[in-house]
Amino acid sequence: MIQLATLPVLFPVAPNAPAAAAEQLALNGCATIPQVFSIQEVTQLLQIIDKAEATSHNFRRTQDLFAIRNLLGEIPELQRALFTPKLRQLLDTLFPNTTPCLTKAIYFDKPAQSNWLVAWHQDLMHNVNQRLDFLGFSPWSTKSDNVSVQPPREILESICTLRLHLDDCNATNGALKVVPRSHQCGAIPAANLPAYTLNAITCPVPAGGVMLMKPLTLHASNRSTSARPRRVIHLEFSAAELPSGLHWRERLPIL
The C-alpha atoms of residue 230 and residue 241 are separated, in whole angstroms, by 33
The one-character DSSP state at 117 is -
β-bridge partners, 60: 67
**Beta-bridge mates of residue 211:** 32, 163
Instruction: Please compute the mean of the pLDDT values over residues 249-253 and round it to a whole number.
Output: 95
Residue 6 has pLDDT above 70, yes or no: no
Contacts of 209 (CB under 8 A, 6+ apart): 12, 32, 33, 34, 35, 36, 37, 164, 165
246 — pLDDT class (breaks 50, 70, 90): very high
Q: What string of H, E and C letters represents the secondary structure of 179-211?
A: CCCHHHHCCCCHHHHHHHHCCCEECCECCCCEE
- The residues, ordered by sequence, that sit 6+ positions from 44 with a Cβ below 8 Å of its Cβ are 81
Specify the 3-state DSSP secondary structure of 105. strand
How many Å apart are CA 32 and CA 79, to the nearest integer?
22
Residue 126: which of 10, 11, 234, 15 has the closest Cα? 234
Q: What band does 229 get if pLDDT is binned at 50, 70 and 90?
A: confident
Tens of pLDDT, residues 146-161 = 999 999 999 999 999 9
Separation CA 11–CA 199 (nearest Å): 15
Burial class (CB in 10 A: 0-12, 13-18, 19+), 206: middle
Mean pLDDT, residues 123-133: 96
| pLDDT at residue 209, as a whole number | 96
User: How much is the mean pLDDT over the chain?
Assistant: 90
pLDDT band of residue 4 (cuts 50, 70, 90) is very low
Q: How far apart are CA 205 and CA 225, in angstroms?
A: 17
